[in-house]
A = this chain, B = another copy of it.
Amino acid sequence: MNAIGVDVGGTKIAAAVVTPEGKILNETRYPTQAIPPNRLVETIADAITEVKNGFEVGGVCVAVPGLILTAENKVIFAPNLHEIENIPLDEEMRNRTGLSVTVENDANAAAWGEFRYGAGKDVEHQVFITLGTGVGGGVITHGVLLRGSQGAGGELGHVTLDPEGPLCGCGNRGCLEALASGTAIRRLAREIANKQPRSALGQLAIERQVLGEDVTELARKGDEAAIAVLNETGRWLGIALAGFVNIFNPEVVAIGGGAARAGEFLLEPARKEVWLRARSPSRDLVEIKEATLGPESGVLGAAALARSEDGEYVLAPPGV
**Taking beta carbons and an 8 Å cutoff, which residues of A are in contact with B?**
67, 69, 76-77, 123-125, 137, 139, 141-142, 144, 146-156, 158-163, 170-172, 239, 242-243, 246-251, 276-282, 285, 319
Contact of A279 among B147, B152, B161, B239 (CB under 8 A): B152
Contact yes or no, A248 B160, CB < 8 A: no
Taking the closest CB of chain B, its distance from the CB of A39, in whole angstroms, is 28
- Closest Cβ neighbor of A139 among chain B residues: B247
Tallying the copies of this chain within the complex gives 2
Give 22 CB contacts A-B under 8 Å.
A67-B280, A69-B281, A76-B281, A125-B148, A142-B146, A142-B147, A146-B248, A148-B248, A148-B249, A149-B250, A150-B281, A150-B282, A150-B285, A152-B282, A153-B247, A155-B247, A156-B246, A159-B247, A160-B239, A162-B162, A162-B163, A247-B247
Contact of A141 among B148, B159, B162, B170 (CB under 8 A): B148
Cα–Cα, bound, A163→B151 (Å): 30
Contact yes or no, A159 B243, CB < 8 A: yes
Contact of A161 among B123, B160, B170 (CB under 8 A): B160
- Closest Cβ neighbor of A171 among chain B residues: B276
List chain B residues, Cβ under 8 A from A150.
249, 281-282, 285
- Closest Cβ neighbor of A68 among chain B residues: B281
Contact yes or no, A148 B250, CB < 8 A: yes
Cα–Cα, bound, A246→B249 (Å): 18
List chain B residues, Cβ under 8 A from A251.
149
